[in-house]
A and B are shown apart, each in its own frame.
Chain A
Amino acid sequence: MQLAILAGFVVAGLAPLLHRGFGARTPLLMAMLPAAFAVWLASLWPVLADGESLLLEWAWVPGLDITLTFLIDGLSWLFAMLITVIGTLVLVYAGEYLKGECDLPRFLVVITAFMMSMLGLVLADNLVALFVFWELTSITSYLLIGFHHTDPVARKSAQQGLFVTVGGGLALLAGFVMLAQAGDSWSLAVLNERGGQLTGHELYTPMLLCILIGAFTKSAQFPFHFWLPNAMAAPTPVSAYLHSATMVKAGVYLLARLHPALGGTELWEVTLSLVGAVTMLTGAFLAIRSINIKLLLAYSTVMALGTLTMLLGLGTEGALVAFVVFLLAHSLYKGALFMVAGIVDHETGTKDVTAMGGLRRVMPRTAVVACVASLSLAGLPPLLGFLGKELMLKSVLAADHYGGLILLLAFTGAFLTLAVATIVLLKPFFGPRVETPKTPHEAPAGMLVGPALLAALSLLFGLAPGTLDTLVEVTVNGLGAVEANVHLALWHGINLPLLLSMASLVLGLLVFRYWDGVRRRLAWLDPLIHRGPERGYEKLMAGMVWVAEWQTRCLQNGYVRNYLVMTLLVLLGLVGHALLVRHPLDIEMSIDAYFHEVVVAGLMIAGALAACVMRSRLAAVAAVGIMGFSIALIFVLFSAPDLAITQLLVETLTVVLLVLVLFRLPRFATLSAPAERWRDLVVAGSFGTLMTLLMLSVLNGERLPRISDYMVANSQPLAHGHNIVNVILVDFRALDTLGEMFVLALAAIGVHAMLRFHAAEYDAGHGQSGRRGNNG
């Protein structure tokens, strides 16, 4: 299985080659891949139906306890099935939708890669593997949202989606690390058996919050919901697949997956049910205000994701049953509706629902599909959506915390959703025929088969909910409920949820009837929405750029001195801290020097100080020369004849060089203000003190065995040399010397080139343009 998924990535990469051979039929060919996965998953069903779960082991990085082990139980089977089946249909659909698009191969590469990442995400048992697949879905989603990369809006939306989900991903990673620390395992299967150990752990709260941020950003929960509607810049097959049926459900999947490990606490229940309910209302409410068919559907997806989160928060057996049914129902009808929206957009050339109407006469088959799917969205019998909504209302009525508030939010969400469903169905397909930018025709078979199949499943499962009993039971058992016994049925008699459903039907129809008025009335809320979380995101982005500019202005301002001072201060801080705080100073001063040595040291100090205060360049160079020759004397006195020779030679050359060049250089000038001089004096003084203290503390420290003992002992026997320093240079560390020669050669070439340029320029006759040219 693991190998199959990795091979799937390879197949994704091969799409452009296939496209060269098969042309427009490539999407059909690629659709075989998810179809094969679906068949394989279906063949596993008998095992799962018995209540077993499969663990496919595969070591990845054994030393770090990272595996690619796959866990197939009810929950991951359901998700994997949705991914592969809808994936197959979406590829078939996309083949028609993007017909003639020259970027079709690119689309196929990315969407197939996404499919494999998503499968890996829902099947992975290891937290690290799950995280890797999680980020892969974020990246592929980014590439798909920005598919029309020439459009600045698409680029901006893609970036926003990426930043929000990947930012959440970082929090998720931190949460995972804490989770693995607390549970002492990276395996989800193991962690889910250690629920009590985790919820009682001191890291529980930060761990949960980090994981929730990750899941909420991915699943577009309030206040991170804003990226999802913007993601509608993607081609419609992508919206149908990633941004309604699969990727946005990854967050919900993760919460469901971790429900046995982390759920059951008050923090979990309150956060999830409240955030879910608020998201639900926000989504439904924003949907009502939109006239773009894709935005209507996107906001209703936000609403559905909120519902799923809320149900997980409630956490009762009934809520978990509702979760599974609602999840399945939503994937079926929303996938279908998005594809219908794509057809409508494709055929009429507009996405504005107020600018179309009466389409059922020109595209009757599409209208039938739309009808079934939106009735399921509306939650009307006998469709699966009805079942989902009934179960949802039932479990909300039984909520422990904030029951009244959540019921109010859920009920409002429900009737607004009904209104959205009515708008999506009635506005384009019924009413008088409205002229559209393009003359619509019935959709081609390739585009209809996907939505038709999904709508048919909604109807089928709605009519015979008993067929889902085993699946829901197996999945709910995996979510940690004790041995649920599920019997789904459409008719439960007249009870409170049914009455609420009827009330929401009436209210929803009223909203639809007065939709234009409602939209106008709600216009006063516009400023509020503009100050919403999306504004916060933009502020954050602008703030980041501002900080970057500010620090560039501060740190990279072009003044050499400032760079130097900054570097020195950091060095002072770090070394000083290590020296004074971490290893308390332990210094012994002992002056065991002969008189002539003290004189030489005094000469050095005098030379260095004189170099600083001399006002003439020649005198300063002479002072540095005195210092250099004194150093040579030190080398002579302290057993380093080779160094003394080299120092003498180099010092002589340096003085000659400087004297030669000096009269071509500017005179010394006093440029700094007194305050600056004092500042520099303080910096220089503290740095000198630091170096002195550093050296004194090193001298007083423990002596390690000398590396050079080996060289001293082997200089004659191995290298046949009597001067050990020379042997080190040309034999033991010959490569260093080679490197040094390169450096010198480079410096020589540089010097030569600069002098030659100079000559060429003056030959050309002092031209200003010539100068500039040489500069560049």
Chain B
Amino acid sequence: MESLMAVTIGVLFATAIYMMLRRSIVKLVIGLMLLSNAANLLIFSMAGMVRGAPPLVPKGLSAPAGAVADPLPQALVLTAIVIAFGVLSFAVVLVRRAWEVVRADDLDRMKDTDT
């Protein structure tokens, strides 16, 4: 499964980068979304993917009975998902604001501080 995920993540990264390299600012935002998802997925699957063994401690025991999925990358990814949402909402509002002020959709026309 990890090999399949590796290919999938590669495709996600490629599409993210391609979108971020567009001149249209809205495409930049889409690229940003793809990129954060790709990165989250990368961290998650790098730790090894385990089916049906969530990192939970059953009631009455002090530790899980058998091997469980690695909880640490999950905690990291959870943080990352939330942060990515924060960044994205900020970026979206920023883009909207820039569009209102500059009325330019083209990033190439925003290269100076006083356009």
Contact = CB atoms under 8 A, between A and B. Distances in A.
Contact of A621 (B14, B30, B44): B30
Contact of B46 (A559, A647, A699): A699
Interface in B71-90: 71-72, 74-75, 77-79, 81-90
Contact of B53 (A593, A639, A657, A722): A639
A510 interface: no
B18 A744 contact: no
B8 to A, nearest CB: 5
Contacts of A725: 55, 71, 74-75, 78
A374 B52 CA distance: 99
B17 A687 contact: yes
Contact of B69 (A631, A638, A748): A638
A559 B111 contact: yes
B9 A691 contact: yes
B85 A597 contact: no
A604 to B, nearest CB: 6
Contact of B111 (A558, A664, A669): A558
Contacts of B42: 691, 695
Interface in A716-769: 716-717, 721-725, 728-729, 733, 736-737, 740, 743-744, 747-748, 750-751, 754-755, 757-758
Interface in B94-115: 94-97, 99-101, 105-108, 111-112
Contacts of B6: 692, 695-696, 699
Contacts of A729: 75, 78-79
B64 A712 contact: yes
Interface stretch (A283-291, A442-450, A451-459, A561-569): A561-569
Max chain A Cβ within 10 angstroms of own Cβ: one of B2, B34, B75, B90: B75
Interface in B49-75: 49-59, 61-64, 68-72, 74-75
Contacts, number: 279
B77 A672 contact: no
B24 A688 contact: no
Contacts of B40: 631
B57 A722 contact: yes
Contact of A560 (B9, B11, B107): B107
Contacts of B15: 608-609, 611-612, 684, 688
A692 B64 contact: no
A51 to B, nearest CB: 72
B59 A658 contact: no
A736 B49 CA distance: 24
Given A597-B4, A775-B101, A604 B50 contact: no
A624 interface: yes
Interface string A544-563: 00000000000001111100
A contact face: mostly helix, strand, loop, or mixed: helix
Contacts of B24: 666, 668-669, 671
Nearest to B24: A669
Contacts of B14: 684-685, 687-689
Interface string A644-659: 0011001001100110
B9 A692 contact: yes
A637 B51 contact: yes
A468 interface: no
B26 A666 contact: yes
Contacts of B96: 661, 664-665
Nearest to B27: A668
A706 B72 contact: yes
Contact of A668 (B26, B62, B83, B94): B26
Contacts of B112: 558
A708 B82 contact: no
A642 B23 contact: no
B55 to A, nearest CB: 4
A509 B99 CA distance: 83
B2 to A, nearest CB: 5
A771 interface: yes
Max chain B Cβ within 10 angstroms of own Cβ: one of A590, A684, A758, A771: A684
B16 to A, nearest CB: 8
Contacts of A750: 90, 93-94
A604 B44 contact: no
B83 A744 contact: yes
B110 to A, nearest CB: 8
A638 B8 CA distance: 16
A646 B82 contact: yes
Contacts of B50: 638-639
A648 to B, nearest CB: 10
B21 A564 contact: yes
A748 to B, nearest CB: 8
Contact of A747 (B22, B57, B77, B86): B86
A589 to B, nearest CB: 5
Contact of B12 (A604, A665, A717): A604
Given A666-B99, A684-B14, A684-B15, A737 B79 contact: yes
Given A643-B78, A680-B21, A743 B63 contact: no
A61 interface: no
A365 B18 CA distance: 85
B18 A612 contact: yes
A612 B85 contact: no
A687 B77 CA distance: 22
Contact of B88 (A609, A637, A654, A669): A654
A592 B51 CA distance: 12
B61 A640 contact: no
A669 B105 contact: yes
Given A621-B30, A695-B6, A750-B93, A650 B82 contact: yes
B91 to A, nearest CB: 9
B75 A747 contact: no
Contact of B49 (A638, A711, A721): A638
B75 A609 contact: no
Contacts of A728: 71-72, 75
22 contacts: A568-B17, A591-B1, A598-B4, A608-B16, A624-B30, A634-B41, A643-B44, A643-B77, A665-B96, A666-B26, A672-B23, A684-B18, A688-B13, A688-B15, A712-B68, A716-B61, A716-B63, A722-B57, A725-B71, A740-B83, A743-B86, A748-B86
Interface of B: 1-30, 33-34, 37-38, 40-42, 44-46, 48-59, 61-64, 68-72, 74-75, 77-79, 81-90, 92-97, 99-101, 105-108, 111-112
- Closest CB pairs A-B (n = 3): A688-B14, A558-B111, A692-B10
Interface of A: 557-561, 564-565, 568, 588-593, 597-598, 601, 604-605, 608-609, 611-612, 617, 620-621, 624, 627-628, 631, 634-635, 637-643, 646-647, 650, 653-654, 657-658, 661, 664-669, 671-672, 680-681, 683-685, 687-689, 691-692, 695-696, 698-699, 703, 706-708, 711-713, 715-717, 721-725, 728-729, 733, 736-737, 740, 743-744, 747-748, 750-751, 754-755, 757-758, 771, 775
Given A560-B107, A593-B1, A723-B55, 17 more contacts: A558-B112, A601-B8, A604-B8, A608-B15, A664-B100, A669-B106, A671-B105, A680-B21, A687-B13, A688-B15, A698-B46, A699-B46, A708-B72, A724-B56, A724-B57, A740-B82, A748-B86
